Structure 1
Amino acid sequence: MYKIQKKKAVKKKKNEHNRKRDIIVNFRMSPMERAELDERVRLSGRKKQDYMIQSSLYQKLVVVGDQRMFLSLQESLTEIEKELKRVVSADSVDMEKIAALRTVAEIIHGLCV
């Protein structure tokens, strides 16, 4: 008789900063765009997921202004202004508001350049 080998439990790797990534983001591309993206990912030596996150969050932002974008900026700045008025010390700052402020600043910088 043969003995059935028990599979060892594979320990999951912790991602950087011990984050849980459970959100899925999808978008459409042409076959040529897909081939170029795959080539860039291959050349970077990163996983596609890590490449896409880094590219999305840390690359130069190019902005084309329109009415909807300006209204969105105005709403974001109003929320940030409320948060800054509420803050008494640096420890009580909401980090999401800081990230939003950074994004708004990048957009405004992109419009001015």
Structure 2
Amino acid sequence: MASERHGKHNTTTISFRVNSYEKASIEERVKASGMKKQDYIVRSCIYNHVCVVGKKENIEILRSEMREMNLVLEDVARDLKSEKPVISEEGLDSMTERYLAFLDAALWMMKGSSYLWEEKKDEREGK
């Protein structure tokens, strides 16, 4: 586990290549988890499951990202509605990729905590 690795020099390196969307997606999930990237990837690979702890800091990170995304999207919408948009197609693609990765991570985290708001089925009634 991560605590067993703390303070030890690891001699083995595992590396892999990802495309830009996968990288952004991993980074957003790491941010949402509140873990170090190494701990997140190790737990994700070994246990194939990562538990997200809903700490105030994690929620604040998501709120901050959503606030920034809202402002940028408002600017982009205003720009695209103008007669001569300034944003390039490459810039729009890059922004779309980053925000899609963030939304995927936010939805992943919400799915993991959906038990907090989903109605429980009464097993006695066979529902």
Do the two structures share a fold, i.e. TM-score over 0.5? Answer: no
Relative to its length, the structure with more helix (as a share) is: 2
Q: Which has the larger radius of gyration?
A: 1
- TM-score bucket (shorter structure): 0.3 to 0.5
Task: Identify which of structures 1 and 2 has the higher relative contact order when contacts are C-alpha pairs closer than 8 Å and 6+ apart.
Answer: 2
